[in-house]
C-alpha cells in the first residue's frame, strides 16, 4: 500500500507536481501515463526519496525498489556482482541466501547464462532484466519503474510487460511511468494520466476495455 497526499513539487519555482493525491493497492500495477515533461519521473523520484517534496505526504509501507530509465547498472561489475553487491548490507538472515536468490532470479529472468558478463556487452533487454533482478534482490514491497520500455523493441517490450505482471502476482505495489500508452494498457490494472502536474484521469482498466483506443486517440488529439 502506497499513499500520496496533496504532494507539491517544484524546481526553481517551476511547479511540476500540483496537489497529487493517489493511493495504490498492493498486488496491482499502476500505469503513470502522460507525454514527456509532465512530471512522471519526478513523481516516482519523490516517492523514492530522490527528490524532496515541497509539501504533502507520502506514506509507503515498506522497502522501495527503483528501476531507472537507463538502468544504471554498474559498468565495472559483472552481471552477478551487480545483482548481489548491495546484498552485503542487508540483514544477516537475507545475506545467507544471497547467491541462491540471485541465481533464482537471474534464472527466472532468463539471464543466468550471462552472469559473468559486463554490462557493456548486454543488449537493452538484457540490461533491463539484470536491472530488474538487482532491484528485486531487495524484495521490495513497492516497485517503481521509470520508462521500462525505452530503447526496447516490440518483442522485448512485450516481455517486460509479462515480467512485471508475473512479479506483481504477489502483494507488491508496482508503479510504472511510461509515455507509451499501448504498453501501459497491456501491463497496468489502472492508469493515471498526468497533465500539467495534476491527475487528469484515473481509470481502472477492467472497467474500460476500450481505453487503449481512446487513449491513443487522446494523445494524437
Partner 1 sequence: MEITVKPIDAVIFVGTGLSISFRLLLGGLSVGLFLGLTLAILRHNGIGRRPIAHYVSLLRGTPVLLQLSLIYFAIPGILGVRLSVLSAGIITFGLNSSAYMSEIFRSGIEGLPRGQFEAAQTLGIPRFFIWKDIILPQVFTAILPALTGEVIALLKETALIATIGGADIMRKSQVLAAEQFTYFMPLCIAGFYYYFIVLFVESLSRRLERRLRRAHH
CA neighbor of 203 nearest in space, from 211, 191, 189: 191
For ligand ADP, the binding residue among 16, 111, 131, 145 (CB under 6 A) is 16
CA neighbor of 22 nearest in space, from 7, 8, 9: 7
Cβ-based neighbours of 110, under 8 Å, separated by 6 or more: 129
For partner 1, the binding residue among 121, 207, 220, 221 (CB under 8 A) is 121
How far, in Å, CA of 152 to CA of 161, rounded?
12
Overall residue count recorded for the chain in this entry: 221
Q: How far is the CB of 97 from ligand ADP (least distance, A)?
A: 35
Q: How far is the CB of 138 from partner 1 (least distance, A)?
A: 7
C-alpha cell at 167: 512479479
DSSP state of 168: T
How far, in Å, CA of 219 to CA of 140, rounded?
33
3-state SS, residue 210: coil
Q: Which residues bind Mg ion (CB under 5 A)?
A: 41
**CA geometry: angle 39, 3, 145, nearest 5 deg:** 50
74 is a contact residue toward partner 1 (CB under 8 A): yes
Q: Whose Cβ is closer to ligand ADP: residue 28's or residue 150's? A: 150
100 is a contact residue toward partner 1 (CB under 8 A): no
Q: Whose Cβ is closer to partner 1: residue 93's or residue 221's? A: 93
138 is a contact residue toward partner 1 (CB under 8 A): yes
3-state SS, residue 133: helix
**Phi–psi pair at 144, nearest 5 degrees:** -110, 125
Q: Whose Cβ is closer to partner 1: residue 85's or residue 112's? A: 85
Q: Whose Cβ is closer to partner 1: residue 117's or residue 165's? A: 117
CA neighbor of 188 nearest in space, from 200, 196, 180: 180
Q: Whose Cβ is closer to ligand ADP: residue 50's or residue 59's? A: 50
Interface positions, 37-56, toward ligand ADP (CB under 6 A) = 37-42
190 is a contact residue toward partner 1 (CB under 8 A): no
92 is a contact residue toward partner 1 (CB under 8 A): no
Q: Which residue is nearest to Mg ion (CB)?
A: 41
Question: Which spans of this chain sit near partner 1 (rule: CB under 8 A)?
Answer: 48, 50, 63-66, 68, 70, 72-76, 85-86, 88-90, 118, 120-121, 134-135, 138
Binding site for ligand ADP (CB under 6 A): 11, 16, 34, 36-42
Amino acid at each position: 500500500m502506497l499513499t500520496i497526499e496533496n504532494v507539491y513539487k517544484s524546481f526553481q519555482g517551476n511547479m511540476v507536481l500540483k496537489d497529487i493525491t493517489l493511493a495504490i493497492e498492493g498486488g496491482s500495477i499502476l500505469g503513470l501515463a502522460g507525454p514527456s515533461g509532465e512530471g512522471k519521473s519526478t513523481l516516482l523520484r519523490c516517492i523514492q526519496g530522490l527528490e524532496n517534496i515541497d509539501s504533502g505526504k507520502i506514506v509507503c509501507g515498506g522497502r522501495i525498489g527503483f528501476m531507472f530509465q537507463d538502468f544504471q547498472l554498474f559498468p565495472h561489475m559483472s552481471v552477478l556482482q551487480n545483482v548481489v553487491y548491495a546484498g552485503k548490507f542487508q540483514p544477516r538472515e537475507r545475506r545467507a541466501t544471497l547467491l541462491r536468490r540471485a541465481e533464482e532470479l537471474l534464472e527466472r529472468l532468463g539471464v543466468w547464462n550471462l552472469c559473468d558478463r559486463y554490462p557493456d556487452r548486454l543488449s537493452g533487454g538484457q540490461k533491463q532484466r539484470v536491472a530488474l533482478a538487482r532491484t528485486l534482490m531487495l524484495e521490495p514491497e513497492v516497485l517503481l519503474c521509470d520508462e521500462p520500455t525505452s530503447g526496447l523493441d516490440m518483442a522485448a517490450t512485450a516481455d517486460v510487460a509479462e515480467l512485471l505482471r508475473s512479479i506483481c502476482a504477489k502483494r507488491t505495489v508496482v508503479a510504472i511511468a511510461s509515455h507509451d500508452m499501448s504498453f501501459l494498457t497491456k501491463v497496468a490494472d489502472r492508469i493515471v494520466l498526468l497533465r500539467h502536474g495534476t491527475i487528469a484521469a484515473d481509470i481502472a482498466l477492467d472497467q474500460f476495455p476500450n481505453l487503449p483506443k481512446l487513449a491513443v486517440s487522446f494523445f494524437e488529439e
